[in-house]
Structure 1
Amino acid sequence: MAPRPGLDANIVLMAAVEIANRQGVQAVTLASVAASLGVRSPSLYNHIRGLEELRARLALYALEQLYSKVNEAAAGLRGRKGVEQFAYTYIRFAREHPGLYESAQLVPQGLNEKELKEAGQRIVDLVLQLLEPFELSREDALHAVRGLRSLIHGFASLEQLGGFGLPLSLEKSLDFNLRIFLTGLEQ
């Protein structure tokens, strides 16, 4: 079967992004992507090898977009201000692109594994740079990266799932917890 004119791997990916952001990453299937593009599922095989590849491309795109946003927000900053900008931008990305954010957390194994690891490592390296003024050992800095990720991923995930039922400002809660985390690093 010949590829449909005007359809390419990037258009297929962008259709998957739209579905993921609107309905969640589990709603991204070959059938849903094909339907959104007005083609039959077998037509997608002219552009991707299958659902695993599509999800791997989606995860890579998500990590690249997340890195682009947090890197831009923290440009020229280090220490407390840099970490705060990173965290607020990370949370905003999760809010504005829920399906992409979810996809970045569910990194598939196998396909594009090297590129996926490199994309994730760029984010880790950025946080390590932001943490430099705290003068942590390499090991402690990596623990801090994990701690920060746990804090902001936990916050983003609970918010997406409606897990914050108390009548308190989410922004104040995020500010409070970031302040505690950063104060701990300063000591």
Structure 2
Amino acid sequence: MPDEPGMPDFEVPVGLFQDLEDLKAQVTRLTAEVKTLTDGAAADETRDGDEETAGEASAEDEQQYPPFILLLDSPEYDDELRALTEWVEGVLVPGYLAEPSADARWCHLWFDHPVAVARLHACWLAWQELTDPATCGYTGPSVWHRDHLDPCLRELRASGGPFQGCTKGENQVNHRLPGQVPSAWRHETG
């Protein structure tokens, strides 16, 4: 029997509630982005057109969203890797990684593996966005685990992943760097 007169009696699937919470989080995040953009546009209109002020605003816009780590050059790459390392070693490793095994590999020199750096950086950027209730609602951490952390760790720790040549035995650690494929991203000097 329905709780309210005129309301149909049916069961709502649990997944529908999760989808609804995800949508609410996305709307909250988008609302915050729109507010930031409109506040920035209003501030731009009040400026006197000074080139120096416009240059400062452009620099602020560039710093608002960090670029993909593999596209950075030193010293920006080094700074971003240092911050990523603090997160990986301070949050990810102690909180989410059990003892490495043949089925769940991990290399303590993960920062030597470009694929691992790229995946962990992407996961970290998502973590920064999805752990702030002001922009993502309360379901952000759940979305981060489901959509970012779990797939990232599955790929990194797989037997064919970037750590496939790295092993840790009782008395020995074997670290093997992946081969370098020629790329348009890297310019060889020589």
Superposition TM-score, scaled by structure 1 size: 0.33
Task: Find the structure with the greater CA-based Rg.
Answer: 2
Structure in which a larger fraction of residues adopt helix: 1
Higher relative contact order (CA 8 A, sep 6+): 2
